[in-house]
Each structure stands twice: as structure tokens, then as C-alpha cells.
């Protein structure tokens, strides 16, 4: 029986398709649980990126690129940093220091939660975009 | 004996650090240089982490009953340093790729020879 | 309300500009955003300097966490002038950069170039403004990583290897600083510089402090290219895009020197005997050998960029010589030369940039009679060169005069004499260039086209702006001297 290149890794491809949603879900869990327990943007970003890297390894870079274009990565890289900075600026506009989360909401504790949430989200977005674009950058060379 | 076994973590730091620096200095291959740099940086992470460890301390997570816990600050610092290290490695590897594209080699002595020739002409 | 937020704004503005530039991507727009952000930075630095003069030290706790726990920005009369200097030099070079970058960098990478520039600027400003030892390391790495990237933008392929070598050495330097900070934290349990300064005298282990001190010193000596550890500088300055060289020559090494000063005097204080060992046995010979040997090396360079790079190491030698005196006058001399040399060297590299823009190279022997085709550029080079030599009425004279005065005050006549010897060497290497530019008859085959071929106005105007600024400060030298002596008092007095 002759196998075409696309069929050669059928098992891997099917398993990967099954795993990727769970990897992403786990990334989101690590992301949003970060302000209560261990976790946070760095780890979540890397886990989220690993889903795309796995996709790229199994299905080929071309397919991953058509799902997640380099332009999208560039935009999300910038948006993550901007989200981080804007959180700080909002707290400055409310009369406190840069990144002082206490003033974000009426209640300091809720404010801290919201602030860490937003900042970690920014970190997560940037980290995932950077890791995936590193992968694109190196994988597309020869 | 106690200084050797009791401080084993610091010995590991020293060995890693020296190994990393040695690779960095003695190897001409640029990739190996970066491996050496990474080992060197990792030894520093280990130095920080081992500093913050408290004997019998738990992870610094809020528990119901008070407990002695390890210093969490060093972990935070090292998280930052790890990110910096990853960024450095990424930049270095990107440079190596481009060096390879334009020189067709990543051996430093060969690159030097090429550069000397260029200067002469 | 804005006034209380100034220290944070100083860092945030360029940090904001970087992602916006990445989003925008169009190269003209990227340049405009960078320039606007940079000018805002200059404004903020100017306001901060005014505030510091008015009400003394400004402290700003990030995120509302008070000083020993949280990260604190600390502005006093030592770093406020340098903030203004770095922001202003960056702004001037950025205004100048547009055409030069357009010619030497791929047009689809312009936005990355300007984004890296903004990150580098915010890293440098952060190193200046922060009062937290670990934060220094973080900002150092932000500025270094973007510097490696900026150097790799050079058109020659040797820029890549230069950048790689700088990366390896720079990472070792930064890692040494990190080790040193780790030992400091182990010995004192604090990372805040003020807190460290108070706790170091009571630290249980003087050996740990000594180790920390040595690691931090070596790391910062690598980053600021003090003589035996300057190996990265010549190649990096030579092969980087000329605008980047102009920017780095005025800022990067100076900022590292500031951090060195800060650790040496404010954090560790001068009560340790190993400090005197460092000053007299390590720093002083390094400084003297540095400015002598590097001036000699500079004489024999045929590429202007390389010559100026070696001359930079020599000039850093003067600064370190001033620091190693460890007296009020010596520190004043060192500090004033940080400011003055930044202006001189940036102006020199900018004029070389104009030459490269028109001729495509900066090879000294083929600049015959350049004054005919590029009179304004040549005039700029020669005026700044005179300043580098230390001719009266220029800023170079102000700093050399103070340095020699300080050396004599301490009775180090030998050093004063050697400074003069090194100045003679500067006359030789600047003189050789001037000779070729002004008097050499054109040889055949004629390498330079006839007629006026001046660099575009957008390059000349910022360059002359900087030159006039430095001339003004040369004539009214007492202004910078007053600032410097204030800074020296602050440094010797420790944190107050």
C-alpha cells in the first residue's frame, strides 16, 4: 500500500487534533487562575504557544501559518504590551502610581484582582505571540 | 566534610558556572558558545533559588495554618531572569542563523579568517 | 497631578511608543511616532531636572508599594542631568536618523529599527532612574538586547559577528551583575539601593559584600568598556549603522558608567578598604593605560568609525581617571566629562554619518580635499574634533582642565602629565583626518565627484544643533561644572 506524504502521520495527526483543544484549555486555566494560585501569563503564554507549535510540527508550517498569520502575531505582540501599559496608565489617570491596582475598582482588593488579571493577560498574549513567532522564524529557515 | 556535603548546592552552582564559562571561552562553534552561555546563566538561576530555600519550608502559598515557607522573592526575580535568558538565547540564535547564511560557517576561527581576508583586499 | 507622575512617564513614553510602532509598521509614521515620543521624553526629563533643582530628591514607588518592599524610582541631582542628556542625545540623533536609516536599512524593517530604538531608550532611561538593584539588571538587559538588534542592522555582514561578540560579552557582563546582586541580596536581604546602602555596613559577612562588589564592578566595567574590557566596542561601533553608533557612543557606555558610580559611591559607600584597592590598584592604571594605549591605537586606524571608537575608549579612560581620584574635584571632572564626551562623540559620529551618507565609506586616505564637496560636514567634524582635543572655549577643554586640576589637587602630577600626552595623541589622530580633508591634493583616479555634494539638511540641522549646544556649554563651562559638582557632592555624601 502506498502512503502519500499527507497520510504518513495519520495517527499523530488525529491525536494532535484531539490534544490541541485541551492544551489550549489548560493554558487558559493557568492564565486565569494566575491571580489565585500558581500560574500566570508567562506559563500560560508558553503553553498556549506550544499548541500552535505542535500543530506546526505535525501539519507543516504552511498550514499553521494560514491559521495564525505572522501579521496576527505581530499585532498580538504589540497588543499584549499595550494592555500591560494601559493598565498602568489607567491607574495613573485615577490618581495613583503606575500599576497601582488599588484604584482600578471601588474596592482595593477587587482592584488588585482586576489589575493582576489585566496585566497577566497582557503578558500571556505577548509571550504566546513571541514564542510562536520565534518558532516561525527558526522553522522557516531551510 | 561538612563544607563539601553540607553546601553541595553551592558546589553545583560553582561547577555549572565554571563549566559554562569554560565552554564559552574554549569552543569556537558559535552554537556551543551559546550553550555555554545558557549553562552559565542557569547556574546563576540555581544560585538564587538555592539562596531562598528554607530548610523544611513549604511552597509560599497561602495556607490556613501558619507554616515556614521558602523565600518567594528569589523565584520572582529568577522568573524575570529566565525570561531575559530566553530572550538572549533567541537573539543569539537568530544572529547565528544570519551569520551562517552570510558566511556559510559557524566556526569562529573560520569566520575570523574570512574577515581577515576581507580586510586585506 | 502630572508632576507627581513624571518619573514613571519617563520610562512609559518610549515603552508605549515601541508597540505602537510595531502596530503601525509604515516607516515614515514609525519615525514620526518615535520622534514625538522622544521629544516628550526630553520634556519630561527637563521638568524632572527642574523639579529636582527646586525641591531636591524625588521618589516614586511603582504600583504604590513603599520603598524597601517595592520598586522605587529615585531621581536626584546625579541622575536627573543624565536623564536629560540621554533623552536629548537620542532625540537629536533620531531627528538626524531619517535619511541615513532610509539608505542603510531595508525599508520593510524600518519599523523594527525604530521600535528597537525606543526599547533601547527606555532601557537606558530606566537604568538611570531606578532605585532598585535588580531593576537595574532588567533595564540593562532591555537596553542591551535592543542594542544587539540595532547593531545587527548594519549593512555589512561583519555587523552580525560584531553584534554576536557584543552579545556574548554583554551577557557575561550582565550575568556578573546578576551574581553580584544575588550576593548582595543574600548578605543584606534587600534590593532597594537606599536600603542596601544602610544595611551593607551592618552586614554579617564582609566577604559576601566583597564578592558582590567585585562581580558588579567587573560586570559594569565590561558594559562601560573600561580599558582592558573594551574588546566588544570597536567592532560594534564600526559595523553598526552609523546612527546607532552615534546614539550608543553618547549614551550606552555613559549610562553604565553612571550605574558604576552609583554602586561605587552611593550603595557601597567609601568606608571599605577594598574600595581604595579598587581605585588605586585597578581603576587608576586601567584609566591611564586606557587613554594612552587607545589614543595610540586610534592614531593608526584608517577608518574614521574605528578611530573614533578607540578614541571613545580613551575618553572613557579620562572619566574613569576622574572617578579613581575619589575626591570632590575628581568626581566633578569625571561627571562633567560624561556629559561633554557624550555631546562631542555623538557630534563626531554624526558628521562621519554625513560622510558615509554621501560617499558610502569613511576610509580616511580617500577623503582627499573633502572640504570642497562637503564643507559643512567637514567643518562640523573639525569643530567637534577640536573639542575632543580640548581646545579652549570647547567642552573638551572644560573637562580636561577640571581633570588636570583635580589630579594636581591630589598631587598626582604624573597623571596630569599623561593626560596632556594623550591630548597630544588626540591632536595627531584628529589632525591626520583634518589634514586629508583640508589640504591633500586630489589624487588620480578621482574618487570624489566634483562640486557641492552636501548631506541633506535634515541631517545637518540636528548635527549643528548639537554642536552649537556643545559650543555654548564650552563657553559657559561653569554651568555644566555646577551641575557636576552638585552631583559629585551628592555621590560622596551617599544617599540622603
Buried b (16+ CB within 10 A) or exposed e, C242-272: bbbbbbbbbbbbbbbbbbbbbbbbbbbbeeb
What residues have CB less than 8 Å from C391, skipping those under 6 apart? C397
* Candidate CATH numbers 1.10.287.3510, 1.10.1040.10, 1.20.1090.10, 3.40.50.300; the one for domain B2-55+67-120: 1.10.287.3510
CB of C401 within 8 Å of a chain B CB? The answer is: no
Region B106-116: mean pLDDT is 88
Backbone angles phi, psi at B6, to 5 degrees: -70, -30
- Among candidates A75, A95, A98 on the partner chain, residue whose Cβ is nearest the Cβ of C8: A98
Backbone angles phi, psi at C495, to 5 degrees: -75, 135
- Among candidates B21, B84, B102 on the partner chain, residue whose Cβ is nearest the Cβ of C157: B102
Question: Residue C450's pLDDT is what?
Answer: 59
CA distances from C159 to B35, C167, C169, C213, C450 (A): 22, 12, 15, 33, 31
Interatomic CA distance for residues B17 and B40, integer angstroms: 5
Q: How many helices (H) and strands (E) does chain B have?
A: 5, 0
Q: Do C5 and A92 make contact, defined as CB atoms within 8 angstroms?
A: yes
pTM, to two decimals:
0.93
In DSSP notation, A7-59 reads GTTHHHHHHHHHHHHHHHHHHHHHHHTTTTSS--HHHHHHHHHHHHHHHHHHH
Chain B residue closest to C176 (CA)?
Answer: B44
C53 found inside a domain: no
Q: Do B74 and C163 make contact, defined as CB atoms within 8 angstroms?
A: no
Q: Which helix (H) or strand (E) holds B104?
A: none
Share of chain A above pLDDT 70, in %: 93
Interatomic CA distance for residues C281 and C277, integer angstroms: 5
- Name every chain A residue with its beta carbon within 8 A of the beta carbon of B90: 134
Its domain, for residue A30, covers 5-139
Backbone angles phi, psi at C73, to 5 degrees: -95, 135
C337 found inside a domain: yes
C66: which 3 cell numbers?
A: 513603599
Question: Residue C83's pLDDT is what?
Answer: 93
CB of B7 within 8 Å of a chain C CB? The answer is: no
Q: Do B88 and C152 make contact, defined as CB atoms within 8 angstroms?
A: no
Alpha helices in C262-411 (DSSP H): 273-277, 284-299, 304-325, 328-359, 370-373, 375-389, 395-409
Interatomic CA distance for residues C42 and C14, integer angstroms: 11
Interatomic CA distance for residues C385 and C362, integer angstroms: 16
What residues have CB less than 8 Å from A2, skipping those under 6 apart? none
Q: Do A37 and B61 make contact, defined as CB atoms within 8 angstroms?
A: yes
Q: Provide the residue ranges of all domains of chain B, joining segments of one domain with +.
A: 2-55+67-120
Task: Map residue B75 onto helix, strand or coil.
Answer: helix
Chain C residue closest to A126 (CA)?
Answer: C19
| Residue spans of chain C under pLDDT 50 | none
Question: Residue C126's pLDDT is what?
Answer: 93
Interatomic CA distance for residues C472 and C466, integer angstroms: 10
Interatomic CA distance for residues C382 and C349, integer angstroms: 12
- Among candidates A38, A42, A138 on the partner chain, residue whose Cβ is nearest the Cβ of B93: A138
Question: Residue C455's pLDDT is what?
Answer: 81
Interatomic CA distance for residues B59 and B73, integer angstroms: 12
Measure the CA angle with vertex A141, ends C109 and A10; round to 5°.
130
Task: Map residue C192 onto helix, strand or coil.
Answer: strand
Cis peptide leading into residue C445 (ω within 30°): yes
Q: Which of C87, C90, C93, C5 is nearest to C43 (CA)?
A: C87
Q: Do A97 and C62 make contact, defined as CB atoms within 8 angstroms?
A: yes
Nearest 10 degrees: Cα torsion C208, C209, C210, C216? 110
- Among candidates A37, A38, A141 on the partner chain, residue whose Cβ is nearest the Cβ of B97: A141
Interatomic CA distance for residues A134 and B81, integer angstroms: 19
Q: Which of B71, B67, B21 is nearest to B43 (CA)?
A: B21
Q: Which helix (H) or strand (E) holds A36?
A: none
CA distances from B20 to B13, B44, C164 (A): 10, 11, 17
**Spatial contact of C103 and C357, defined as CB atoms under 8 Å apart:** yes
Q: Do A97 and C63 make contact, defined as CB atoms within 8 angstroms?
A: yes
Interatomic CA distance for residues C122 and B52, integer angstroms: 31
CB of C137 within 8 Å of a chain B CB? The answer is: yes
Q: Do B99 and C160 make contact, defined as CB atoms within 8 angstroms?
A: yes
Q: Which of C325, C332, C344, C337 is nearest to C484 (CA)?
A: C332
Nearest 10 degrees: Cα torsion C108, C111, C114, C115? -130
- Name every chain B residue with its beta carbon within 8 A of the beta carbon of C163: 95
Buried b (16+ CB within 10 A) or exposed e, C436-445: bbeeeeeeee
Nearest 10 degrees: Cα torsion B104, B107, B108, B110? -60
What residues have CB less than 8 Å from C61, skipping those under 6 apart? A97, C67, C70, C71, C72, C73
- Name every chain C residue with its beta carbon within 8 A of the beta carbon of B21: 172
Task: Choose the mutation target among B90, B91, B95 for the interface with A, i.e. most A CBs under 10 Å.
Answer: B90
Q: Do C137 and B81 make contact, defined as CB atoms within 8 angstroms?
A: yes
**Spatial contact of C470 and C394, defined as CB atoms under 8 Å apart:** yes
Q: What is the 3-state secondary structure (H, E, C) of C395-433?
A: HHHHHHHHHHHHHHHCCCHHHHHHHHHHHHHHHHHHHHH
* Partners of residue A117 on adjacent β-strands: none
Q: Cα C105 to chain center, whole Å?
A: 23
- Name every chain B residue with its beta carbon within 8 A of the beta carbon of A42: 79, 83
C89 found inside a domain: no
Please give the tally of structural domains in chain A. Answer: 1
* Partners of residue B69 on adjacent β-strands: B58
- Among candidates C138, C145, C182 on the partner chain, residue whose Cβ is nearest the Cβ of B48: C182
Pairing of strands C58-61, C72-75: antiparallel
Question: Closest approach of chain B CAs to the CA of C148, in angstroms?
Answer: 8
Q: Which helix (H) or strand (E) holds C61?
A: strand C58-61
| Partners of chain A (3+ Cβ pairs below 8 A) | B, C
Q: How many Cα atoms are found within 13 Å in the side-chain-facing hemisphere of C315?
A: 33
- Name every chain C residue with its beta carbon within 8 A of the beta carbon of B78: none
- Name every chain A residue with its beta carbon within 8 A of the beta carbon of C12: 85, 88-89, 98
Q: Which of B78, B75, B56, B71 is nearest to A38 (CA)?
A: B75
Q: How many helices (H) and strands (E) does chain C have?
A: 20, 2
Q: Do B74 and C185 make contact, defined as CB atoms within 8 angstroms?
A: yes
Task: Map residue C451 onto helix, strand or coil.
Answer: coil
Please give the tally of structural domains in chain C. Answer: 1
Chain B residue closest to C172 (CA)?
Answer: B37
Task: Flag whether pLDDT at A4 surpasses 80.
Answer: no
B positions 2-61 inside 8 Å of A (CB): 59, 61
DSSP secondary structure code for residue C282 in this structure: I
Task: Map residue A77 onto helix, strand or coil.
Answer: helix
Question: Closest approach of chain C CAs to the CA of A8, in angstroms?
Answer: 39
Interatomic CA distance for residues C224 and C174, integer angstroms: 11
Question: Closest approach of chain A CAs to the CA of C490, in angstroms?
Answer: 26
CB of B91 within 8 Å of a chain C CB? The answer is: yes
Its domain, for residue C433, covers 315-488
Question: Residue C271's pLDDT is what?
Answer: 61
Share of chain A above pLDDT 90, in %: 42
Question: Residue B92's pLDDT is what?
Answer: 94
Chain B residue closest to C187 (CA)?
Answer: B51
Q: Do A78 and C61 make contact, defined as CB atoms within 8 angstroms?
A: no
Question: Closest approach of chain B CAs to the CA of A106, in angstroms?
Answer: 25
| Partners of chain C (3+ Cβ pairs below 8 A) | A, B
Chain A residue closest to B63 (CA)?
Answer: A37
Q: Which residues of A touch C (CB under 8 A)?
A: 74-75, 77-79, 81-82, 85, 88-89, 92, 95-102
- Name every chain B residue with its beta carbon within 8 A of the beta carbon of A134: 90
- How many residue pairs bridge chain A and chain B with CB atoms within 8 Å of each other? 11
Q: Do B88 and C141 make contact, defined as CB atoms within 8 angstroms?
A: yes
- Name every chain C residue with its beta carbon within 8 A of the beta carbon of B84: 137-138, 141, 145, 174
CB of B111 within 8 Å of a chain C CB? The answer is: yes
DSSP secondary structure code for residue A38 in this structure: S
Q: What is the 3-state secondary structure (H, E, C) of B29-65?
A: EHHHHHHHHHHHHHHHHHHHHHHHCCCCCECCCCCCC
B positions 24-63 inside 8 Å of C (CB): 24, 30, 33, 37, 40-41, 44, 47-48, 51
Lowest average pLDDT, out of A33-37, B35-39, B84-88, goes to: A33-37
- Among candidates C19, C63, C64 on the partner chain, residue whose Cβ is nearest the Cβ of A82: C19
C387: which 3 cell numbers?
A: 573639542
Interatomic CA distance for residues C12 and C92, integer angstroms: 20
C287 found inside a domain: no
Q: How large is the ipTM?
A: 0.93
DSSP secondary structure code for residue C441 in this structure: P
- Name every chain B residue with its beta carbon within 8 A of the beta carbon of A123: none
Amino acid at each position: 500500500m502506498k502512503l502519500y506524504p499527507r497520510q504518513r502521520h495519520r495517527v499523530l495527526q488525529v491525536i494532535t487534533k484531539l490534544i490541541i483543544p485541551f492544551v489550549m484549555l489548560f493554558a487558559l486555566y493557568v492564565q486565569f487562575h494566575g491571580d489565585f494560585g500558581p500560574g500566570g501569563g508567562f506559563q500560560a503564554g508558553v503553553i498556549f504557544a506550544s499548541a500552535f507549535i505542535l500543530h506546526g510540527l505535525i501539519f507543516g508550517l504552511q498550514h499553521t501559518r494560514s491559521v495564525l498569520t505572522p501579521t496576527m502575531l505581530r499585532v498580538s505582540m504589540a497588543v499584549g504590551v499595550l494592555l500591560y501599559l494601559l493598565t498602568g496608565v489607567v491607574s495613573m489617570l485615577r490618581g495613583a502610581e503606575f500599576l497601582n491596582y488599588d484604584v482600578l475598582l471601588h474596592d482595593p482588593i477587587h482592584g488588585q484582582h482586576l489589575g493582576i488579571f489585566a496585566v497577566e493577560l497582557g503578558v500571556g498574549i505577548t509571550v504566546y505571540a513571541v514564542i510562536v513567532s520565534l518558532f516561525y522564524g527558526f522553522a522557516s529557515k531551510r | 566534610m561538612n563544607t563539601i556535603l553540607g553546601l553541595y548546592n553551592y558546589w553545583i552552582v560553582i561547577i555549572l558556572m565554571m563549566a559554562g564559562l569554560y565552554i564559552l571561552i574554549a569552543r569556537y562553534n558559535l552554537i556551543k558558545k551559546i550553550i555555554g552561555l545558557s549553562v552559565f546563566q542557569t547556574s546563576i538561576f540555581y544560585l538564587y533559588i538555592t539562596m531562598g530555600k528554607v530548610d523544611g519550608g513549604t511552597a509560599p502559598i497561602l495556607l490556613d495554618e501558619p507554616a515556614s515557607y521558602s523565600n518567594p522573592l528569589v523565584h520572582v526575580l529568577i522568573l524575570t531572569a529566565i525570561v531575559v535568558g530566553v530572550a538572549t538565547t533567541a537573539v543569539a540564535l537568530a544572529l547565528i542563523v544570519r551569520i551562517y547564511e552570510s558566511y556559510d560557517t559557524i566556526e569562529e576561527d573560520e569566520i575570523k579568517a574570512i574577515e581577515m581576508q576581507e580586510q586585506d583586499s | 497631578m502630572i508632576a507627581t507622575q513624571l518619573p514613571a512617564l519617563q520610562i512609559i513614553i518610549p515603552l508605549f511608543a515601541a508597540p505602537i510602532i510595531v502596530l503601525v509598521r509604515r516607516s515614515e509614521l514609525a519615525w514620526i511616532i518615535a520622534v514625538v515620543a522622544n521629544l516628550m521624553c526630553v520634556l519630561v526629563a527637563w521638568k524632572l531636572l527642574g523639579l529636582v533643582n527646586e525641591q531636591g530628591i524625588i521618589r516614586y514607588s511603582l504600583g504604590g508599594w513603599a520603598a524597601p518592599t517595592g520598586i522605587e524610582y529615585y531621581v536626584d541631582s546625579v541622575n536627573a542631568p543624565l536623564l536629560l542628556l540621554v533623552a536629548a542625545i537620542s532625540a537629536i540623533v533620531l531627528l538626524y536618523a531619517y535619511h541615513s536609516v532610509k539608505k542603510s536599512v531595508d525599508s520593510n524593517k524600518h519599523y523594527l529599527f525604530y521600535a528597537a530604538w525606543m526599547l533601547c531608550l527606555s532601557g537606558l532611561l530606566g537604568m538611570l532612574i531606578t532605585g532598585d538593584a535588580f531593576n537595574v539588571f532588567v533595564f540593562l538587559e532591555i537596553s542591551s538586547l535592543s542594542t544587539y538588534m540595532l547593531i545587527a542592522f548594519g549593512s555589512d555582514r561583519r555587523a552580525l559577528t560584531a553584534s554576536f561578540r557584543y552579545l556574548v560579552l554583554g551577557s557575561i557582563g550582565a550575568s556578573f551583575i546578576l551574581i553580584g546582586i544575588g550576593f548582595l541580596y543574600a548578605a543584606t536581604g534587600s534590593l532597594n539601593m537606599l536600603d542596601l546602602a544602610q544595611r551593607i555596613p551592618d552586614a554579617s559577612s564582609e566577604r559576601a559584600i566583597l564578592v558582590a562588589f567585585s562581580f558588579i564592578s567587573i560586570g559594569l566595567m565590561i558594559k562601560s568598556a573600561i580599558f582592558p574590557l573594551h574588546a566588544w566596542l570597536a567592532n560594534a561601533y564600526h559595523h553598526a549603522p552609523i546612527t546607532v553608533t552615534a546614539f550608543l557612543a553618547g549614551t550606552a557606555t555613559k549610562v553604565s558608567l553612571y550605574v558604576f558610580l552609583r554602586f561605587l559611591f552611593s550603595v557601597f559607600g567609601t568606608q571599605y578598604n577594598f574600595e581604595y584597592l579598587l581605585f588605586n590598584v585597578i581603576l587608576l592604571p586601567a584609566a591611564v593605560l586606557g587613554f594612552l594605549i587607545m589614543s595610540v591605537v586610534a592614531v593608526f586606524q584608517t577608518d574614521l568609525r574605528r578611530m573614533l571608537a578607540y578614541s571613545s575608549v580613551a575618553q572613557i579612560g579620562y572619566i574613569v581617571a576622574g572617578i579613581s581620584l575619589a575626591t570632590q574635584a575628581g568626581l566633578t571632572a569625571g561627571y562633567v566629562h560624561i556629559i561633554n564626551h557624550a555631546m562631542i562623540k555623538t557630534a563626531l559620529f554624526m558628521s562621519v554619518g554625513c560622510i558615509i551618507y554621501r560617499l558610502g565609506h569613511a576610509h580616511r586616505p580617500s577623503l582627499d580635499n573633502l572640504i570642497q564637496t562637503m564643507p559643512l560636514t567637514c567643518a562640523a567634524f573639525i569643530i567637534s574634533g577640536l573639542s575632543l582635543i580640548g581646545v579652549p572655549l570647547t567642552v573638551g577643554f572644560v573637562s580636561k582642565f577640571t581633570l588636570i586640576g583635580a589630579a594636581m589637587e591630589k598631587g598626582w602630577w604624573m597623571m596630569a602629565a599623561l593626560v596632556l600626552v594623550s591630548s597630544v595623541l588626540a591632536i595627531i589622530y584628529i589632525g591626520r583626518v583634518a589634514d586629508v580633508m583640508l589640504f591633500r591634493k586630489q589624487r588620480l583616479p578621482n574618487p570624489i565627484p566634483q562640486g557641492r555634494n552636501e548631506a541633506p539638511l535634515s541631517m545637518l540641522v540636528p548635527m549643528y544643533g548639537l554642536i552649537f549646544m556643545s559650543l555654548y556649554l564650552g563657553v559657559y563651562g561653569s554651568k555644566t561644572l555646577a551641575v557636576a559638582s552638585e552631583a559629585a557632592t551628592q555621590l560622596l555624601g551617599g544617599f540622603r
